[in-house]
Homo-oligomer: A and B are copies of this chain.
Amino acid sequence: MAEPSLARLSALFFGFLLLLATYSWVPRLHSGLLSGTGVQKTLGPDPKLRVDHSSAKPHHPLDPLTVQEIERVRTILLDHEPGFGSGSATIHSMALDEPDKTLVVKWKKGNRLPSRRAEVLALSVGQSHVIVVDLDSGRVVSDVVNPTSGYPILTMDDLIVASQVALKSIEFNRSVEARGVKLSDLVALPTFTGWFGPEEEGRRILKVQCFTSQDTPNYFMRPIEGLYATVDMDKLEVIKIVDKGMVPIPKAAGTEYRYNVQNKPVHMDRINPISIEQPEGPSFLVEDGHLVKWANWVFHVKADHRAGIIISQATVRDSETGEPRSVMYKGFPSELFVPYMDPGELWYYKSYLDAGEIGLGPAAMPLVPLNDCPRNAYYIDGVFALPDGKAIVQPNMICLFERYAGDVSWRHSEILIPNADVCPFTTRKQIRESRPKVTLVARMATSVGNYDYTFDWEFQSDGLIRVTVAASGMLMVKGTPYENVDDLGDKEDDSGPLISENVIGVVHDHFITFHLDMDIDGPMNNSFVKVHLEKQRVQSGKSPRKSYLKVKKYVAKTEKDAQIKLSLYDPYEFHIVNPNRKSRLGNPAGYRIIPGGNAVSLLDHDDPPQIRGAFSNNQIWVTRYNRSEQFAGGVLVYQSHGDDTLQVWSDRDRSIENNDIVLWYTLGFHHIPCQEDYPVMPTVAASFELKPANFFESNPVIGVAPIFEKDLPVCRPFASS
């Protein structure tokens, strides 16, 4: 139903990205640095050695679809359903349909790739389609219509259309103009509507709210409060306008954040230039565009339309034998859930599921060199499909860099304690040993509308993987007549604090749920062990102590045993172990998940947003591996009813002992905004860790070298060189 002009607009939209990006796609097509011979190549971390997307071929079973493959899928789809040509059917996402795990695990470099397939989420005449296309046979192998509730991920076209439709409404225009906003300043921003019952069923809708960009690029801080239009995306018409009356529009002054335009004095002394320097170059290799090798780690990294960044087949070398050992088959941010805390008519629906509703990939703008990633970074592009099936390159979407922050990997200082008859000072030496911590980071940053999320996968040579989510960008704020808290009093409808004149920072939560398909020493034979610290009381007279903690282990039998609510007062460690792989001492090889940045969703379980975001009901879950259970909010998330979530899968209560299992973990933030979050929020970060626990026979970095002065670079200020 989309008008033909939309495809053009969309291409323009993405094309615009390219023009602004540091490395644009078209020039690289002709640069010929690594022109397409089809032969596997080793890309070093030299940022100039980049993939030629015009000819790139997949080299690994998990490599994302290439530009050529996407074009081929498009051709196959046009045969299958001519509506894809006429615009009556649209492609909402297209990604590699990964081969079965057994095939991927068996595959070795040099082998023929397992058959390449694409999974396409599409919409045709209001129906959701999940289509699998086989590239080798050139056929559609399945086309399932409406497998669950919900619609496919939105496209940028959807947003453009919703905005256009709203602005075609005379009534809506009148409401805007009544507020004294010029249409040339208006930003009509479509927002995801959630799902609140039967009234909204059977049609795709978006809600369009408005901002003014008069005198600022930071229109988010200038909401036109009290107004939105609900747009029917099938009929392309406004079906409801809510206008609750005028609310003062907050001022533009103080909202600017662009460096070149800023003129606010900074009351601080200059910080001299500082840089992470590696004059011999980075230590990692990127083979065939996606396979990263560093220190004792090998993993596959790729950009993804929905998850933004996916890490696969992370393997670490054994510290005793050097053999590569599987740690994690696949890890990625599976869904985000961001409920706002205002039940009013204008705000109640704001409860976003960003990964499944809009996708982290298309919203991941090119990283800003030197600032989003340090100087020693290497960049990887994303390749996606447009609604008409054409390929588009998102440049510099992921960066890889080695991180040294002055931290210590391990240390010990020792003065040997003397004995009376053996003077220690003459014969023994003081010991001061310390080792620097250098890590490898794979980073992706995405701007989902107002919010910016940065995802870091950080690998340590001691076997630890740290995942960090950092949030910045703009708050979603609410206009208010009040300019001072004294005017507000004890207003009942207060949904958050006043953070600038006429601006309320609405309280909200963020929950980021990770899919962590841990395969400790292989895909099968993994178990989830709850390691409980149980308080024991000592029998009177048995010890001068009255109490202590004792470790007791419980192996989870089924999925319900592994629905974990963390408690400070009932502490557990949580291990994934391979009971068939024992250490020299007989301990099963394992990894722990170390939670961090926890906040719990306190919404009622029968509240519609919480039903859809039910994957946030527990902080940890373990499910039996099922290739279709990747996205915690379901495959079709937009307006979904919550019938295809992690909660639903886990409630099946399948056996998870000594099996192929998947760990799920949710990082959470409560956010009560404050003045400092205006007009852009300082970054807030939280991490969790996957840490070896009896995986290695002993500390695997005990033999690593310290830093010596002789190895460090000689630097001089740029200006004087």
Contacts and interface: CB of A to CB of B under 8 A. Distances in A.
Interface in A206-221: 213, 217, 219
Contacts of A463: 676
A698 B500 contact: yes
Contact of A485 (B269, B402, B585, B610): B585
A596 B687 CA distance: 11
A494 B409 CA distance: 30
A717 B706 contact: no
Contact of A279 (B186, B273, B702): B273
B196 A544 contact: yes
A189 interface: yes
A545 B196 CA distance: 8
Interface residues of A, number: 220
A447 B279 contact: no
B264 A702 contact: yes
Which of A277, A438, A452 has most chain B Cβ within 10 Å?
A277
Interface in A317-354: 317-322, 339, 341-345, 348-349
B412 A547 contact: no
A692 interface: yes
B217 A604 contact: no
Contacts of A432: 20, 365-366, 368
A104 B265 CA distance: 31
A677 to B, nearest CB: 7
Contacts of A429: 20
Contacts of A567: 568
Contact of A342 (B259, B485, B497, B548): B548
Given A163-B419, A401-B406, A417-B189, A483 B273 contact: no
Interface string A229-266: 00000000000000000000000001001110010111
Interface string A486-502: 10000000111111110
Contact of A276 (B196, B274, B566, B585): B274
Contact of A447 (B280, B412, B495): B412
A184 interface: yes
A474 B680 CA distance: 44
Given A420-B167, A709-B370, A343 B279 contact: no
Which of A167, A420, A695 has most chain B Cβ within 10 Å?
A420
Contacts of A670: 533, 549, 571, 573
A673 to B, nearest CB: 10
Contacts of A713: 273, 275, 277, 715-718
A542 interface: yes
Interface stretch (A10-18, A54-62, A130-138): A10-18
A153 interface: no
Contacts of A317: 267-268
Contact of A585 (B370, B500, B573): B500
A16 B426 CA distance: 9
Contact of A274 (B345, B404, B550, B568): B404
A345 B436 CA distance: 40
Given A163-B419, A498-B587, A507-B549, A464 B188 contact: no
Given A273-B711, A273-B713, A568-B568, 8 more contacts: A13-B415, A196-B545, A267-B321, A410-B683, A462-B676, A464-B682, A571-B670, A676-B695
